[in-house]
């Protein structure tokens, strides 16, 4: 059985409408407690521009051995 064009269009438009509604609801969602504590506000005001994550793969040798 082939679906008619009207049913295909109706299904497509319904999917688009539901997707738009869900995206709108997600964007409008606000946290229950939107107030920040004083400490959180203090942390947000820090300068985070020079923050870099560095990983040291080299481990220093634990023992110094000498061959004789």
pTM: 0.39
Distances in Å between the Cα of 44 and the Cα atoms of 39, 52, 54 are 9, 17, 22
Decide if 15 contacts 7 (C-beta within 8 A).
Answer: no
H or E element that contains 12 = helix 5-28
Delimit the domains of the chain by residue range: 3-50
With CA atoms as reference, report the closest residue to 6 among 20, 14, 18, 17. Answer: 14
Query: pLDDT, tens digit, for every residue of 3-61?
Result: 788 899 999 999 999 999 998 888 766 565 567 788 887 887 887 777 777 776 666 66
pLDDT band at 67 (very low <50, low <70, confident <90, very high): low
From 43, 41, 39, 42, select the one nearest 51 (Cα to Cα): 43
């Amino acid at each position: 059985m082939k679906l008619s064009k009207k049913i295909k269009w109706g299904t497509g438009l319904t999917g688009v409408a539901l997707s738009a509604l869900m995206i709108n609801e997600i964007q409008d969602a606000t946290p229950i407690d939107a107030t920040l504590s004083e400490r959180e506000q203090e942390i947000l005001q820090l300068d985070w521009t020079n923050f870099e994550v560095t990983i040291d793969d080299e481990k220093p040798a634990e023992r110094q051995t000498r061959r004789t």
